[in-house]
Amino acid sequence: MMAGQLLKEARLFEENEDKRIRQKDRPAFHLSSRAGWMNDPNGFSYYGGKYHLFYQYHPFEKRHGLMYWAHAVSDDLLHWEYLPAALAPDEEYDRAGCFSGSAVEMPDGRHLLMYTGVQAVMDEGGMPRVLQTQCLAVGDGVDYEKYEGNPVLDGGDLPEDASCCDFRDPKIWRKPDGTYRSVVGNRPGDGSGQILLFMSPDGFHWSFQKVFARNRNRFGRMWECPDFFELDGKGVLLVSPQQMFPGCEYSGTLCLIGAYDLATDDFAEENDQAVDCGLDFYAPQTALLPDGRRVMIGWMQSWETCGGHRGDLDWFGQMTLPRELSVRNGRLCQKPVRELEKLRRGRTEYRDVVFDGELNLAGIRGRKTDMELEIAPADGEKAYREFAVRFAANEMCRTSVSFRPEGSVLKVDRGYPGSGKMVVHQRCCRVNSDNGKLKLRIVLDWYSVEVFVNDGEQALTAVFYTDRSADGISFFADGTVKMNVVKYELAE
């Protein structure tokens, strides 16, 4: 397999950049862009004995530009080894970018990628517009060759009323009977979003099956990056809406849970929820691991907040921790993959700490930590007004997670990162709390915080680029709080 000229150039460029970027300027256990810019995770899959993760990639600059697919592999989902970029926009049908897509292993052992090819064209009136089609590439886990029959889905395959400009991000899977399905994001005539379902007997020949889900202008507009899977007896559809309306709980990615009929591929929505209530989470993709776990990785960023990056870091973009999913009481729950526990070192524990006001605890500090907190009112009857944990802190900076029992609102706030740049800096959500009792697990890496509430009922994620030396962690209570803390250092 011969890499084309564009791909060769990108591979050379990223290799040199990677040598230049110091490991200590990267997150410790979150995947960051090998060079330049990263957005959506793509092609997350287990193949050839390793986890593979591709991503949307513009290696040459720290901004979204002409899209390539970058590639990394891992044995533990936490430490990633970069492989050479996998796709370059070097064909007529993808000349304006290789957009998001997914991967699956074929029965003959080949790795099949399905992605969106973007083309810039002129319409009849001479106006420029884009055309989006679905394309394939087949490979061995390192090198991928685009299929000669590309594109395999274009405007001619779409139902009436469906846009061929907004037609992207195929998520492919194999059904138990060996046939393939793919859900693709699309915009119908009402300007809203819809998810289309396509089928294929062999992975190469595709046809439209049905409209799988419709937004009908309920949650934002166009729905990007769909993912669909069965979990704990339910069908789960993840979509990332564009132009999401402002609101407390719904921000980045939406999860629709419902009944799924394997024989007819009918999906009947029952519940909806936000996947992550923090500031930086978008376009997640899941993979089914060989041990049966359904694991999700998201782009740890949101389009609205891209301006907050630090100029002196020579990479842009991180992925979230991989998260194990489950459905409990009709809701999606998520926890960091259990592999993270293997990185735990140096346990520090305090039980039944009763305090009101500021609190520092010996041994509780750090920027790469995994911390479990249980809080409750000290006096079972009388609720406190506010609890907060502050981290990445020094005299100038801090990021915090705070909780007010009244209204049951949890908030993440990175308003003091040490740079004047952040515009959107806080987000809140309502959480379940019985009279001020709350369980939080807070995972910090150098440039991010991920909060898991009540054993994974909800998650809040935010990136921050505070100087690495700011490693203070402290607690605050307005009213008397009783707290248990267990904290671990996390190894690189």
Catalytic residues, by residue number, are 40
Q: Which of 169, 324, 370, 471 binds ligand FRU (CB under 6 A)?
A: 169
225 is a contact residue toward ligand FRU (CB under 6 A): yes
168 is a contact residue toward ligand FRU (CB under 6 A): yes
Q: Token pair of 312, please? A: 């002196």
For the CB of residue 77, give the shortest distance to ligand FRU in the complex, in Å. 22
**Near ligand FRU in 444-473, by CB under 6 A:** none
CA distances from 327 to 271, 274, 294, 324 (A): 11, 14, 11, 11
What are 370's strand-pairing partners? 443, 488
CA 323, 419, 39: angle at the middle one, nearest 5?
35
194 is a contact residue toward ligand FRU (CB under 6 A): no
Q: How many residues bind ligand FRU (CB under 6 A)?
A: 13
Please give, one letter per residue, the 3-state secondary structure of 64-119. CCCCEEEEEEECCCCCEEEEEEEECCCCHHHCCCEEEEEEEECCCCCEEEEEEEEE
116 is a contact residue toward ligand FRU (CB under 6 A): yes
Q: Which of 33, 45, 56, 334 binds ligand FRU (CB under 6 A)?
A: 56
Residue 405 near residue 435 (C-beta atoms within 8 A)? yes
For the CB of residue 223, give the shortest distance to ligand FRU in the complex, in Å. 9
**Near ligand FRU in 19-48, by CB under 6 A:** 39-40
Q: Which of 224, 370, 413, 471 binds ligand FRU (CB under 6 A)?
A: 224
367 is a contact residue toward ligand FRU (CB under 6 A): no
Give which of 436, 431, 434, 460 is closest to 448, Cα–Cα.
460
Q: E strands of 337-384, at which residues?
A: 344-359, 369-377
Q: 37 vs 488, which CB is nearer to ligand FRU? A: 37
For the CB of residue 165, give the shortest distance to ligand FRU in the complex, in Å. 12
182 is a contact residue toward ligand FRU (CB under 6 A): no
- Show the binding pattern over residues 229-258: x = contacts ligand FRU (CB under 6 A), - = does not: ------------------------------
Q: Tell how many helices (H) and how many strands (E) occur in the chain.
A: 1, 31
276 is a contact residue toward ligand FRU (CB under 6 A): no
Q: 32 vs 400, which CB is nearer to ligand FRU? A: 32
Residue 196 near residue 158 (C-beta atoms within 8 A)? yes
Give Cβ neighbours of residue 276 (< 8 Å, ≥ 6 apart): 251, 252, 253, 298, 320, 459, 460, 461
For the CB of residue 40, give the shortest distance to ligand FRU in the complex, in Å. 5
Q: 72 vs 428, which CB is nearer to ligand FRU? A: 72
Phi/psi of residue 433, each to 5°? Answer: -150, 130
Q: 117 vs 377, which CB is nearer to ligand FRU? A: 117
Peptide bond into 151 cis (omega under 30): yes
Q: Which of 100, 186, 400, 461 binds ligand FRU (CB under 6 A)?
A: 100
Q: Token pair of 176, please? A: 């138990």
For the CB of residue 39, give the shortest distance to ligand FRU in the complex, in Å. 5
Q: Which helix (H) or strand (E) holds 13?
A: helix 5-20
Give which of 31, 26, 38 is closest to 65, Cα–Cα.
38
Q: 168 vs 294, which CB is nearer to ligand FRU? A: 168
Q: 206 vs 282, which CB is nearer to ligand FRU? A: 282
Q: 99 vs 416, which CB is nearer to ligand FRU? A: 99
Binding site for ligand FRU (CB under 6 A): 39-40, 56, 67, 99-100, 116, 168-169, 224-225, 282-283
